[in-house]
């Protein structure tokens, strides 16, 4: 790592370049700005005015490496540039016409100056702003293709302001910033990282829809969690990469939920639920007007809220009563004995996995288990409406409406009331990066149960028609909160997926990781977003990207 950083350090300028800059400053660079012509893939050429094809002024050759003198703007090819310098004293520095890079004719080598690069990049930025409308798709496609390079070379607008910390995490996408641990607060940091990078939440706060300077609660001197989150969003996307301390938020949260105000490690899932509740309380009261059946329009519920359907069937008369309940997240039971359906075992065997003896728990197994018909025990008899008596019955859950962001919580902490003990289940859970939720929708679950009869779909059909079900059932992962260690003394780490690359956020430390690391982690909370949400966010991010792949050809060595 250290070797890499020292490699990325700007090389010292040669004496000739220092002399040139001492005499002319950066005005010479700026005078060339008009001549730069930028291409979609980030290359920049020099296009002298009124000359279609640049040629060497000595031999009029056009297909060699050509250089344009910074002083007199005459063009020379690689074999005549030396004689140009020798006959004109002080004309040492030239620009490579094809690549817009500095060349010292006396050293016979490429030279580097961040201030020159700034001039080139600012021209690229201007070009990008102008072409966003017409060439947006081209930019998106290009940056997709080169995204690995791009993401290592992302340069936000900060690049223009200062080149101070280009070495330090300069390659990470904007918004990636470590969070300091304020004393066993990794449970909070882990959840915050996931929330800050959830596209709908990010857009909500960054577009100023809850502005802490305009918030009525705050002006009345009341604590307001959405304001604290606004502060966190500003800090995360400020471009500063030094770790941030979310102390305000911790304090507000303590005030909101006094029973959790301790220095002890908390459960990050509980924190997640409690934080979203607080946001709903603060946001919901100021913004939404409840009508009878309309749902809350606060950001929490717009992003995370879905609807569960539960069908309770009387095992005596067969009549079914259906209830709908909103949900913010789904908790899944992780139990390798019960969690696996026979179908999953078969799947594993077919794919020839070596671990046939102990089949691996999968997320689809957990979801199957969640939506299976469950026989309620004799102690849970329910009053059947058609029999008018308490009867044994079976219950089945399904998802009536999917949320924009799907939070799946894996129950790794098991509390046994009878034995008064708690234990952690640390078995591995296999989960996909792309998740199709359509098998768990009410329409498919009920359809499977009753066959494709129309009567069973009371009300399900209209839902399907209204929101083109199959496309919105496709989810993509964007964050994973993991828990490692023991029940009482563990550590939470979040993996974030931005523009197809994974980043590990461990309190103050952030680094890029390979997919395999994420697949092998002990996942505790999985954050999925609807595919179109991710795609939209991806496009939005692409606009900030300038490909510098060719300007710094050795940057990824």
- Minimum distance between the CB of residue 142 and another protein, rounded to whole angstroms? 10
Measured in whole angstroms, how far is the alpha carbon of residue 6 from the centre of its chain? 29
- Minimum distance between the CB of residue 88 and another protein, rounded to whole angstroms? 20
Select the residue interacting with another protein from 21, 24, 41, 317 (CB under 8 A). Answer: 41
* Per annotation, catalytic residue among 69, 186, 227, 314: 186
Select the residue interacting with another protein from 27, 50, 63, 289 (CB under 8 A). Answer: 63
Query: Residues 108 to 127: which contact another protein by CB under 8 A?
Result: 108-110
- Residue closer to another protein (CB basis): 65 or 539: 65
- Calpha distance 540→538 (Å, rounded): 5
From residue 69, alpha-carbon distances to 35, 48, 105, 253, 471 in Å are 13, 12, 9, 62, 57
Find the distance separating the first CA and the last CA of the chain, reported in whole Å.
Answer: 12
| Residue pair 519/513 in contact by the 8 Å Cβ criterion | no
Catalytic residue list contains 56: no
SS3 content of the chain, % helix, strand, coil (to 5): 40, 20, 40
- Minimum distance between the CB of residue 108 and another protein, rounded to whole angstroms? 5
Angle between helix 186-196 and helix 247-256 axes, rounded to 10 deg: 110
Is residue 107 close enough to count as binding another protein by CB under 8 A? Answer: yes
Angle between helix 199-206 and helix 186-196 axes, rounded to 10 deg: 80
- Calpha distance 278→284 (Å, rounded): 9
Token pair 């939920």 is found at 257
Of 60-68, 252-260, 415-423, 527-535, the window that binds another protein (rule: CB under 8 A) is 60-68
Is residue 62 close enough to count as binding another protein by CB under 8 A? Answer: yes
- Residue closer to another protein (CB basis): 64 or 241: 64
Catalytic residue list contains 186: yes
Token pair 């994420």 is found at 518
Select the residue interacting with another protein from 22, 53, 417, 454 (CB under 8 A). Answer: 53
- Minimum distance between the CB of residue 133 and another protein, rounded to whole angstroms? 21
- Minimum distance between the CB of residue 150 and another protein, rounded to whole angstroms? 14
| DSSP 8-state symbol, 183 | S
Query: Residues 528 to 547: which contact another protein by CB under 8 A?
Result: none
From residue 362, alpha-carbon distances to 91, 178, 201, 476 in Å are 68, 31, 29, 16
Is residue 557 close enough to count as binding another protein by CB under 8 A? Answer: yes
Of 101-109, 278-286, 405-413, 536-544, the window that binds another protein (rule: CB under 8 A) is 101-109
Is residue 50 close enough to count as binding another protein by CB under 8 A? Answer: no
Binding mask 167-186 for another protein (x = CB under 8 A): --------------------
Select the residue interacting with another protein from 50, 52, 213, 292 (CB under 8 A). Answer: 52
Tokens of 386: 């058609």
3-state secondary structure of 284: helix
Is residue 4 close enough to count as binding another protein by CB under 8 A? Answer: no
Angle between helix 225-236 and helix 199-206 axes, rounded to 10 deg: 100
- Calpha distance 33→332 (Å, rounded): 58
Binding positions for another protein, rule: CB under 8 A = 7, 39, 41, 52-53, 61-65, 78, 107-110, 554, 557
The catalytic site residues sit at 186, 491
């Amino acid at each position: 790592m250290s070797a890499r950083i020292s490699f990325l350090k700007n090389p010292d300028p040669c004496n000739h370049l220092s002399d040139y800059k001492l005499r002319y400053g950066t005005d010479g660079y700026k005078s060339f700005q008009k001549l730069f012509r930028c291409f979609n893939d980030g290359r920049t050429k020099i296009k002298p005015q009124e000359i279609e094809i640049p040629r060497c002024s000595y031999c009029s050759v056009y297909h060699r490496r050509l250089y344009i003198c910074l002083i007199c703007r005459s063009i020379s090819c690689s074999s005549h540039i030396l004689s140009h310098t020798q006959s004109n004293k002080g004309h040492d520095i030239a620009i490579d016409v094809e690549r817009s890079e500095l060349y010292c004719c006396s050293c016979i080598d490429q030279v580097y100056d961040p201030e020159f690069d700034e001039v080139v990049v600012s021209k690229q930025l201007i070009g990008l702003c102008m072409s966003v409308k017409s060439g947006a798709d081209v930019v998106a496609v290009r940056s997709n293709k080169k995204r690995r390079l791009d993401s290592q070379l992302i340069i936000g607008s900060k690049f223009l302001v200062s080149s101070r910390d280009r070495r330090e995490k300069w390659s990470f996408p904007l918004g990636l910033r470590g969070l300091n641990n304020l004393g066993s607060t990794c449970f909070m940091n882990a959840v915050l990282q996931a929330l800050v990078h959830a596209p709908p939440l990010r857009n909500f706060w960054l577009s100023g829809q809850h502005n802490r300077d305009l918030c009525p609660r705050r002006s009345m001197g009341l604590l307001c969690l959405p304001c604290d989150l606004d502060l966190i969003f500003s800090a995360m996307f400020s471009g500063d990469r030094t770790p941030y301390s979310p102390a305000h938020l911790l304090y507000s949260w303590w005030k909101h939920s006094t029973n959790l105000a301790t220095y002890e490690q908390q459960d990050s899932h509980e924190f997640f639920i409690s934080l979203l509740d607080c946001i709903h309380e603060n946001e919901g009261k100021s913004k939404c007007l409840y009508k009878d059946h309309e749902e809350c329009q606060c950001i929490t519920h717009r992003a995370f809220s879905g609807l569960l359907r539960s069908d309770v069937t009387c095992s005596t008369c067969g009549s079914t009563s259906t209830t709908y309940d909103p949900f913010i997240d789904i908790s899944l039971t992780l139990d390798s004995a019960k969690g696996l359906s026979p179908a999953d075992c078969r799947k594993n065997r077919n794919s020839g996995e070596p671990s046939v003896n102990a089949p691996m728990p999968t997320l689809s197994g957990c979801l199957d288990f969640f939506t299976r018909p469950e026989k309620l025990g004799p102690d849970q008899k329910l009053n059947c409406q058609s029999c008018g008596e308490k009867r044994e019955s079976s219950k089945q859950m399904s998802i009536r409406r999917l949320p924009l962001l799907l939070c799946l919580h894996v129950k790794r902490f098991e509390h046994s009331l009878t034995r008064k003990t708690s234990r952690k289940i640390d078995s591995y859970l296999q989960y996909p990066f792309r998740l199709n939720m359509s098998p768990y929708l009410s329409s498919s679950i009920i359809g499977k149960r009753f066959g494709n009869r129309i009567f069973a779909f009371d009300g399900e059909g209209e839902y399907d028609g209204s929101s083109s079900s199959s496309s919105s059932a496709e989810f993509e992962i964007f964050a994973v909160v993991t828990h490692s260690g023991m029940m009482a003394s563990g550590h939470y780490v979040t993996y974030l997926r931005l523009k197809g690359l994974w980043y590990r956020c461990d309190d103050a430390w952030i680094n890029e990781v390979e997919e395999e690391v994420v697949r092998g982690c002990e996942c505790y909370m999985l954050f999925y977003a609807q595919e179109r949400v991710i795609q939209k966010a991806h496009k939005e991010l692409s606009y900030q990207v300038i490909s510098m792949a060719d300007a710094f050809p050795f940057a990824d060595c």
